[in-house]
């Protein structure tokens, strides 16, 4: 089997990673995430027209009826319209919008209406951020416990790298960041970690077996040995996600985009970021020696 020299190219990929991360952070800082209704509060009404309506006309109708700051956009089909309103005081706003838009020539049907109080949105935002940090922290403790703290450091950077890139691209493209996307980002954390752990597992195994102290060589071997698996698993998952993206409908469109981005970033980072970082923090054979005992006994089992 061909051996690819991953570690030899680590400077180039480091620069690429840093560059993408900087762009992502910049997009987050200057453009910001386009937070969905779940986090900001407000009202969203989806209606279905019989024939595609004129959007400007529709906006005018709503503004004449006293709604301010109305955003109107098509959702999927041209006769499917999404109306966003700032916080309104009325509880029956969904039906109201339908009543305003309904005309004799073009009938309107309410598909869904969502209303989120600003306070609920704020709370959710805090909770989600906290949840994400907690997820990172718990996973770090687990990796430090199962491997060693230097591995935890590498995994943390790789995870941060993946999450920031997904969030950054969402900010850059102005995609709606809602609860399902948050779920996807958390799933990305799980997935990217999965990849990283598989590579780390092999690195640990190889360090314990090999006679040399040539870490770049050991890492290269480990990555090459797991490469087929990494590609196969990423491949099947991406196949499924592409099915979701093209066939799953608008409601999970952004969800699948976030996961696709995350899996591409996660696969890249498990090779170039998490493993290469172990060289940066100078992982040595003796870091793994105390755990050596448990490995030897298992060899003799039938």
Partner 1 sequence: MLNRYPLWKYLLILVVLLVGLIYALPNLYPADPAVQISSTASGAALDQERLDRLTQALEDKDIAIKQSELDGNSALIRLERAGQQVAAREIIDERLGDAYTVALNLADATPGWLQALSATPMKLGLDLQGGVHFLLEVDMDAAVEQRLEANASAVRDLLRDERIRYRDTSIDGRAITFQFANADDRDAARGLITDQFPDFEYSTPDTERGASLTMTFTDQAVQDLQDYAVNQNLTTIRNRVNELGVSEPLVQRQGPSRIVVELPGVQDTAAAKRIVGATANLEFRLEARPDTPEREIETLPFRNDEGRSADLMRDIIVTGDHVSSASRSFDENNRPQVNINLDGAGGSMMSRATRANIGRNMAVVFIEHKTRTRTVMEDGEEVEKREAYTERGIISLATIQSTLGNRFRITGLESASEAGDLALLLRSGSLAAPIYFAQERTIGPSLGAQNIAQGIMSVEVGLLLVVLFMLARYKAFGVVANVSLGLNLVLLVAAMSLLGATLTLPGIAGIVLTLGMAVDANVLIFERIREELRAKMPVQQAIHTGFERAFTSIVDANITTLLVAVILFSIGTGPVKGFAVTLSLGILTSMFTAIMVSRAMINLTIGGRPLKKIWI
Task: Show contacts with partner 1 in window 248-267 (CB under 8 A).
Answer: 248-249, 251-252, 255-256, 259
Tell me whether residue 19 or residue 141 sits nearer to partner 1 (CB atom): 141
- Asked if 232 touches partner 1 (CB under 8 A), the answer is yes
Token pair, residue 262, equals 């995350």
Report the first-to-last Cα separation within the chain, whole angstroms. 29
Q: Locate tokens 């290269």: which residue?
A: 220
Rounded to a whole number of angstroms, the minimum distance from the CB of residue 50 to partner 1 is: 13
Rounded to a whole number of angstroms, the minimum distance from the CB of residue 17 to partner 1 is: 22
Tell me whether residue 10 or residue 43 sits nearer to partner 1 (CB atom): 43
Count the site residues for partner 1 by CB under 8 A.
77
Tell me whether residue 181 or residue 283 sits nearer to partner 1 (CB atom): 181
Among positions 155-194, residues that touch partner 1 (CB under 8 A) are: 179-180, 182-183, 186-187, 189-191, 193-194
Token pair, residue 74, equals 């098509």
Q: Is beta strand 108-116 parallel, antiparallel or unpaired with respect to 176-177?
A: unpaired
Rounded to a whole number of angstroms, the minimum distance from the CB of residue 124 to partner 1 is: 8
Beta bridge partners of 71: 84
Closest CA to 264 of 233, 290, 293, 287: 233
Rounded to a whole number of angstroms, the minimum distance from the CB of residue 5 to partner 1 is: 19
Which contiguous run of DSSP H or E holds residue 150?
Answer: helix 149-173
Among positions 81-110, residues that touch partner 1 (CB under 8 A) are: 87, 89, 91-92, 94-95, 109-110
- Asked if 297 touches partner 1 (CB under 8 A), the answer is no
- Asked if 32 touches partner 1 (CB under 8 A), the answer is no
Tell me whether residue 27 or residue 42 sits nearer to partner 1 (CB atom): 42
| Calpha distance 234→228 (Å, rounded) | 10
In angstroms, the Cα distances linking 101 to 56, 64, 65, 80 are: 12, 11, 10, 13
- Asked if 12 touches partner 1 (CB under 8 A), the answer is no
What are the start-end ranges of the H helices in 174-214?
179-209
Q: Sign of dihedral through CA atoms 120, 169, 224, 287? A: negative
Task: List Cβ neighbours of 204 (8 Å cut-off, separation of 6 or more).
Answer: 147, 288
Q: Is the Cβ–Cβ distance between 172 and 29 less than 8 Å?
A: no
Tell me whether residue 37 or residue 279 sits nearer to partner 1 (CB atom): 37
- Asked if 117 touches partner 1 (CB under 8 A), the answer is yes
Which contiguous run of DSSP H or E holds residue 43?
Answer: strand 42-49
Rounded to a whole number of angstroms, the minimum distance from the CB of residue 23 to partner 1 is: 26
Q: Mask 118-137, x = binds partner 1 (CB under 8 A)?
A: xxx---x--xx-xx--xx--
CA 187 remoteness from chain centre: 7
Rounded to a whole number of angstroms, the minimum distance from the CB of residue 207 to partner 1 is: 15
Among positions 190-229, residues that touch partner 1 (CB under 8 A) are: 190-191, 193-195, 197-198, 201-202, 205, 225-226, 228-229
């Amino acid at each position: 089997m061909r051996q690819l020299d991953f570690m030899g190219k680590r400077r180039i990929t480091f620069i690429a990673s840093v560059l993408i991360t900087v762009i992502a952070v910049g997009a987050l800082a200057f453009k910001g995430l386009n937070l969905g209704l779940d986090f900001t509060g407000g009202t969203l009404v989806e209606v279905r027209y019989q024939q595609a309506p004129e959007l400007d006309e529709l906006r005018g109708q709503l503004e004449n009826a006293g709604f301010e700051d109305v955003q109107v956009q098509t959702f999927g089909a041209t006769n499917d319209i999404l109306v966003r309103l700032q916080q309104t005081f009325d509880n029956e706003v969904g039906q109201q919008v339908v009543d305003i838009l309904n005309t004799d020539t073009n009938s309107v049907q309410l598909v869904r209406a969502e209303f989120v109080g600003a306070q609920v949105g704020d709370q959710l935002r805090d909770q989600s951020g906290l949840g994400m940090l907690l997820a990172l922290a718990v996973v770090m403790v687990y990796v430090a416990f199962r491997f060693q703290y230097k591995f935890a450091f590498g995994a943390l950077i790789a995870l941060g790298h993946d999450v920031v890139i997904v969030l950054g691209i969402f900010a850059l493209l102005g995609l709606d960041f809602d609860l399902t996307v948050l779920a996807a980002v958390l799933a990305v954390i799980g997935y990217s970690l999965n990849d990283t752990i598989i590579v780390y597992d092999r690195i640990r195994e190889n360090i314990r077996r090999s006679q040399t102290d040539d870490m770049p060589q050991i890492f290269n071997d480990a990555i090459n040995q797991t490469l087929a698996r990494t590609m196969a698993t990423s491949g099947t998952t991406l196949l499924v996600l592409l099915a979701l993206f093209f066939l799953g409908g608008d409601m999970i469109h952004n969800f699948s985009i976030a996961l696709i981005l995350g899996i591409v970033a996660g696969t890249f980072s498990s090779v170039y970021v998490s493993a290469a970082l172990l060289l940066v923090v100078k992982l040595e054979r003796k870091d793994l020696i105390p755990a050596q005992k448990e490995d030897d006994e298992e060899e003799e089992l039938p």
